[in-house]
Each structure stands twice: as C-alpha cells, then as structure tokens.
Amino acid sequence: MNGINIFDLKEFLDKKVEQYNTPDFIPNDPISIPHSFSLKQDREIMGFFAAIFAWGQRKTIINKCKELAHRMDNSPYDFITGHNDADLKKLLDFKHRTFNDTDLLYCIDFMKRHYTTSDSLEEAFFPDKNMDVESALNYFQIYFFSHPDAPHRTRKHIPSPKQKSACKRLNMYLRWMVRKDNKGVDFGLWEKVSPGQLICPLDLHVERTARKMGLLERDKPDWKAAVELTENLRLLDITDPAKYDFALFGISIEEKCIIP
C-alpha cells in the first residue's frame, strides 16, 4: 500500500460499504437463498450450497439453488435428516456447471452424518474456539472427506488453504455465517470466530478492484493473495475487514471499477 493515503481510502471504502451493505443488495445476490428461510439449519444448508454454486451468473446461481430447495421440498434440514433412499431419487440429474448429482448426494450424506451429532454446521468448521480461519478451512476439508467412500471428483468443489486455494466461496460462506451488524445482509449465526478473523473472499471482481486500489500486489489469486488483501483491509478496520467485500465487489460489478 505504498503511496496510498490510508485515511482517504478508508473514508471512500467505508462510504461504499454503507452504499452496498443494505437489504437492496440481497435480491440479486446468492445470499438471497438462505434469506428465504428462517430456521438456522436451513440457512446454514442453503447458504452452503449457494456459496458452493457461486460461480457464473448470479441469476443462474440463484435459480439453481431454488431448484435444489424445491427438490428438497423447501425444507432442506428436514429432508437431509429424515430422508430415505426413495427421497434421494428427487436429487438425481441435478447439475450446476461441474457440480452434479454425485457431488450433491455426497454433500447430503455428509450433512446427515454431521447433524446426527451436532445442531449446527459451525462445528464442521470450528470444533473449538481456538482455530483461525486458515486452520478451520483445512480442518473442514479433511472432515468433509473423512468418509471412506467420498468421491474424488467432489474434492474440486471443497478446496483448502493447504492446497494454496483462495477458497473464495468458502470464505464468502463464512462471511455470511459470522458477520453480524444491523444492516440485515449477513446472518451472524456463528460465534466461535470473530468477524475480525475472517478472510475477505477473493473473487474476480474483488481482485480487480483491490489491485487498482493498491490493496493487492501478489500476482496469483491464491490463499496468500487473500491473506495479503485481508491484512491490508485490517489496516482500515481491524475488527471487521471482510465488510469491505461489499465495497470492492460493488465497485467492480456496479460501477465497472470507477475509482477516484
């Protein structure tokens, strides 16, 4: 961030956070999917799928999530914890880009096993309060694929920092579940990790804006780049760096990187 006036940058980005971190953001974003449910577990489940599906056009992502919810009778937690083999036939032939019914059925199986011993997916990421986000994402991948019959093809949908992935979709999911403010967008359902520990999701739009603003110099959009960006955002707000996801994403997709 050499040569950048950090006070001017903070003032500008804080205004953009206020502009985009509003209920108006919800309808056209995948976060609208978990917002259509009230039960905590339904929000966790559909938030997970909405995040995992989040590549490509947002309208398509939202429609595929609605299709999946419909196949689960619009009661995903009840479906996952109470389904029988015949019910699973409703999920066959589901597909979103490279995510297919093999991947879906394993996700359903994992969640059923997890919810047998826990009432929240939070424990799947944070089994205790002493884990940072990097450790949590590495743990989650190991835990998620701990079943001996886990399909190898599904691994590409659940990356980890250990593999040097930026884990943009999982970091977005954690933002949804952990951040809590009075704006009504993120849910703040999980409390084992603080918002200050979150890593900013590094998607193409955020990366583009961050580079133009001098917030990111690393040439590869990998885990180290996500950490670099987040560390710079912590200079602007150490307690809630991931809130700037709204600003960086909004500037890119709504304003085509119009930066003063």
Q: Express each pLDDT in 155-200 by its tens digit.
A: 999 999 999 999 999 999 999 999 999 999 999 999 999 999 999 9
- Which band of pLDDT confidence, cut at 50, 70 and 90, is reported for residue 129? confident
Question: Given a cut of 90, is residue 56 above it in pLDDT?
Answer: no
Alpha-carbon gap, residue 196 to 216, rounded angstroms: 19
pLDDT of residue 114: 98
Instruction: Give the C-alpha separation, 135 to 157, whole Å.
Output: 18
Q: Percentage of the chain with pLDDT > 70?
A: 96
- Please name which of 193, 185, 192 lies closest in space to residue 245, comparing C-alpha atoms: 185
pLDDT reported for residue 260:
44
Give the model's pLDDT for residue 27: 96
DSSP secondary structure code for residue 96 in this structure: E
Would the pLDDT of 5 be above 50? yes
pLDDT at 257 over 70: no
The residues pairing with 100 across neighbouring beta strands, listed in sequence order, are 95
- Contact by Cβ (8 Å): 222, 177: no
The pLDDT assigned to 99 comes to: 97
Confidence of residue 4 (pLDDT cuts 50, 70, 90): low
Under a CB-based contact definition with an 8 Å cutoff, are residues 90 and 71 in contact? yes
What is the model's pTM? 0.95
Please, is 123 exposed, middle or buried when counting C-beta atoms within 10 Å of its C-beta (0-12, 13-18, 19+)?
middle
pLDDT at 2 over 80: no
Q: What is the DSSP string of 44-74?
A: HHHHHHHHHT-SS-HHHHHHHHHHHHHHTTT
Scored b (16 or more CB within 10 A) or e, 68-105 reads bbebbeeebbebbeebeeeebeebeebebeebeeebbb
Q: Is pLDDT above 60 for 256?
A: no
Spell out the domain ranges in the chain.
6-255
pLDDT at 91 over 60: yes
Mean pLDDT of 63-75: 98
Read off the pLDDT band of 1 (50, 70, 90).
low
Q: Quick one: tokens of 118?
A: 């826990």
Question: Average pLDDT in the 11-24 region?
Answer: 96
- Across residues 113-140, what is the average pLDDT? 96
